[in-house]
Amino acid sequence: MSLPSKPKVDFTVWLAAERASVQGRTEYCNGDVLAIEGSSEAHNLICGNLAGELGNHFKGRPCYVYTSDMKVRVESANLGAYPDVTAICGERQFLDDRRDVVTNPTLVVEVLSDSTEAYDRGDKFAYYRSIPGLRAYLLLSQHRVSAELFLRQPSGDWLLSVYTDPSERIPLTALDTELSLAEVYDKVDFNADH
């Protein structure tokens, strides 16, 4: 005997529920609603450090950085997600006048957790790649100093570069900036989570 499947939810129904919710967030993937777990201290520090660094680099420039409260809509994949950090250089495109869902990120960053790492590396990255203007996808470990940067090449292929030395800088050429790995991981205590 098979279990009955959950009914599919329309994106507009999910979005209305997210906007009205006062409790935990969810993500939307082709009719399925997925719960988002809470984040560790390391996860929060990395996201805060990254958003602060990008914000400093973007002063006086037409580039914007958003924290995990900004939703990203990937129409071609029927996805609604909350990346950990999102950046847009140039004109921002929003789903509607609420301006809480962007559709054209230049950079998407996910801080890997044990429960989401496979999804962030696999299906979610495949969905994000279908965004025409996405130029960079950055994965950050919260268990060690490790950054994996995927840059879209002019051919459309994605080139992976890995950074593990705190003295290294992550070249975000798509946003005409670079990040210090030491700054991204500032104050993160890797021994605290074990």
pLDDT mean over 29-51: 93
Tokens 């230049």 belong to which residue? 106
**158: Cα separation from own chain's centroid:** 17
Where are the chain's structural domains?
A: 39-184
pLDDT band for position 37 (cuts 50, 70, 90):
confident
pLDDT mean over 26-37: 90
3-state secondary structure of 28: strand
User: In the chain, what percentage of residues exceed pLDDT 90?
Assistant: 86
**pTM, rounded to two decimals:** 0.92
Please name the amino acid found at residue 104: N
Q: Are 82 and 70 in contact (CB under 8 A)?
A: yes
Q: Which residues contact 68 (CB under 8 A, 6 or more apart)?
A: 47, 82, 83, 84, 85
Residue 159 has pLDDT above 80, yes or no: yes
pLDDT band for position 5 (cuts 50, 70, 90):
low
Residue 50 — φ and ψ, nearest 5°? -65, -45
Residue 169 has pLDDT above 60, yes or no: yes
pLDDT in tens, 71-130: 999 999 999 999 999 999 999 999 999 999 999 999 999 999 998 999 999 999 999 999
> Helix, strand, coil: what percent of the chain each, to 5?
25, 30, 45
Tokens 């840059």 belong to which residue? 151
Joined tokens for residue 144: 């060690």
pLDDT reported for residue 3: 47
Q: What angle do CA 184, 188, 190 make, to 5 degrees?
A: 125
Q: Are 67 and 55 in contact (CB under 8 A)?
A: no
Q: What is the CATH number of domain 39-184?
A: 3.90.1570.10
Q: Are 115 and 43 in contact (CB under 8 A)?
A: no
